[in-house]
Amino acid sequence: MTDNDASPQNLWKDLENQNILPVDGVLMRSCEQELQELVQHIDILVKNRETDLKQQVKKVYKHFEKKTKECQQQKITLEENSKKILALQSQVEWLTAEKQKAEEIHETQVTNLKSKAALLRTEHERLHKTFLRKMHSMEKRSKSADGQDDEKNQRIQQLTERLKECEKQLKAVQEEKDILQGQFESMESECKVLQRKRENLEAANESLTMNLEESEKQRQEGEHEIYKFRLLIKQQNDDLIDYGKSDDLLKRAVITLRTDLQTKLATITNLQSELEQYQEDQAHQMKNDYEMLETLQNENQQLHQDLVKHKEYMKEYSSLKEQLELLKAEKVVLGKIISDQTEKLKNHKTKMQLEIDEVEENFDEVWMAQARDVDEETAKVELQLGNQQQNRQAREEFYQETEDKEEQDGDDDEEEEELEVEEVEEEKEKEHDKELEEEMEKENKRDDVDLRLSKEVGDRVHQSLSALNGALNSTSQTNLQHVIDAIGIEPKPNDSVFCVSQSQIKEFLHKEQIYRKDWEDNFSKELHRIWHNTEGVIQRYINSL
């Protein structure tokens, strides 16, 4: 039987032993074979699943080991590369420092020589000018001044010689520069040679330690051989005493042994002296090597400190570079914001201009309508005044006629006429009072209209300025629409104050345009100042690097 056939039976027996199966049930009696097959199938599935899981676990472990090995290999390569980079950085820093020192020395020498040459040239030019200036005057005098001219010529020659010497010194400085450049290159080669010597010294140190160990072993072997010879001599002496051989044989043997012993002792002493000399030489060499190693270690520590400083500088440089990139990004963002704001301001300006033009057109229409109304009222008033004048003339004529009649009728009718005249005068006075009251009412209405005009104009100015500031501070289209709605003044009926004084409204609109223009100029100046400050900060960061 196979394992698959045996395992279900075992599982079946286990179930029977645990009294899990219904032994006396109808299902058990009728479906026992099907249950056994089902148990067998379940056991096979469990085993297959178990084997699959084990294989997956093995694959995972293999993959994990492979990845760990790769990580270790990469770590080793990274450490080696970092060591190489550190060594190269130290060499580069040392070479740059030496180069800077040489260049500084050369620059100082060149500047000193240039300053000396400039002084000599200025002095030569000054003396040459004085010489030329005085030569003209000296020629007019007497020929007795030839000696002085000779002295001056000698002085000029001396100065020319000094100039030539300065030029020679400049050439020498140039040659020294070339020499320093060659020395710098030789120093680079010496640095490489020292590096190789260091490696050779380390190898020699290892070889010396090995030689010391070998010499120590040889010394111990020689001492061991001496000890053996002494034992042999002692044994031979004992044998000679014990066995009592002949004197000749003993003497010969002793002589041979002594000669051998002396030769070996001599070789041993020579070897010991050579060993001591070799040890002294090796100790001296080791001392020198240790001193050189200490100097190299000190240099290595100094280079390590310089490397740490360089790393700190690199970190600061990277941080400053990041800050510079952030500032550049902020610059780009500010540029975009400024461009967007300028576009929005231009759009808003155009919209405001359109609204102002519409308002002016509406004001012109309203003003024309009001002017027509005023002309009609003035025409009516003129008609009324003309009628009143005609009435006055008619009354005067009537008064004249009544006076003539009164003169004819007599003194009886004078009282009646006077009463009638008084009544007419009273009626005229009443009409005149009514006209005055009407004029006063019109003046009061005009004063009220002017007050309303100034008040509403002030309110409109305050509202428009607040709305304009809110629109310029906010960038949303809804606020702009509110500003347009706030500034867009619709024409009102004839009883509104905006149909009274067109000049005041135009003046208000002109002031508002001036205020908006000043605000835009101040805004652009402020943005320019901020941008100039940011450029200065960026330049300082770059200079600090």
CA atoms within 13 A on the CB side of 92: 8
- Crossing angle between the packed helical segments 32-140 and 3-17, to the nearest 10 degrees: 110
Neighbours of 213 (CB within 10 A): 10
| Statement: residue 51 has pLDDT above 80 | yes
Task: Give the C-alpha separation, 467 to 238, whole Å.
Answer: 135
Q: Cα 147–150–151 angle (5° rounding)? A: 90
The confidence score (pLDDT) of residue 36 equals 74
Task: Give the C-alpha separation, 501 to 363, whole Å.
Answer: 9
Task: Give the C-alpha separation, 375 to 363, whole Å.
Answer: 18
Average pLDDT over residues 280-303: 71
Q: Which of 43, 65, 80 is the last residue of a domain?
A: 80
Residues in the chain: 545
| Statement: residue 176 has pLDDT above 50 | yes
The confidence score (pLDDT) of residue 414 equals 58
Task: Give the C-alpha separation, 511 to 314, whole Å.
Answer: 58
| Statement: residue 197 has pLDDT above 70 | no
Q: Which of 80, 110, 132 is the last residue of a domain?
A: 80
Task: Name the most confidently modeled range: 399-413, 430-444, 445-459, 482-496.
Answer: 430-444
Residues 6+ apart with CB under 8 A from 12: 36, 39
Q: Which of 80, 110, 133 is the last residue of a domain?
A: 80
> In the 3-class helix/strand/coil scheme, how is 473-537 assigned residue by residue?
HCCCHHHHHHHHHHHCCCCCCCCCHHHCCHHHHHHHHHHHHHHHHHHHHHHHHHHHHHHHHHHHH
| Statement: residue 415 has pLDDT above 80 | no
Q: Domain of 523?
A: 323-544
The confidence score (pLDDT) of residue 488 equals 43
| Predicted confidence band of residue 63 (pLDDT cuts 50, 70, 90) | confident
| 270 located within any domain | no
Termini Cα distance of the chain: 86
The confidence score (pLDDT) of residue 508 equals 62
User: How many domains, in total, are found in the chain?
Assistant: 2
Mean pLDDT of all residues in the chain? 66
Q: Which residue has the higher pLDDT, 180 or 333?
A: 333
Query: What is the percentage of the chain residues whose pLDDT exceeds 70?
Result: 39
Task: Give the C-alpha separation, 401 to 386, whole Å.
Answer: 22
* Model pLDDT for residues 486-543, shown as the tens digit of each residue: 444 444 444 443 343 456 555 666 776 777 677 777 776 776 676 666 666 666 655 6
| 205 located within any domain | no
Task: Name the most confidently modeled range: 37-51, 304-318, 421-435, 529-543.
Answer: 37-51
| 65 located within any domain | yes
SS3 208: helix
| Statement: residue 62 has pLDDT above 50 | yes
| 67 located within any domain | yes
Q: Which residue has the higher pLDDT, 445 or 352?
A: 352
Task: Give the C-alpha separation, 355 to 349, whole Å.
Answer: 10
| Predicted confidence band of residue 480 (pLDDT cuts 50, 70, 90) | very low
Q: What would the two tokens of residue 326 be?
A: 């952030």
Concatenate the DSSP letters of all residues of 233-257 into one string: HHHHHHHHHHH---HHHHHHHHHHH
| 45 located within any domain | yes
| 175 located within any domain | no
| Predicted confidence band of residue 247 (pLDDT cuts 50, 70, 90) | low
| Statement: residue 45 has pLDDT above 70 | yes
The confidence score (pLDDT) of residue 379 equals 72
Neighbours of 51 (CB within 10 A): 10
| 501 located within any domain | yes
Contact 145, 138 (CB under 8 A): yes
* Model pLDDT for residues 83-133, shown as the tens digit of each residue: 877 887 787 788 778 878 877 887 787 788 778 777 877 777 777 777 777
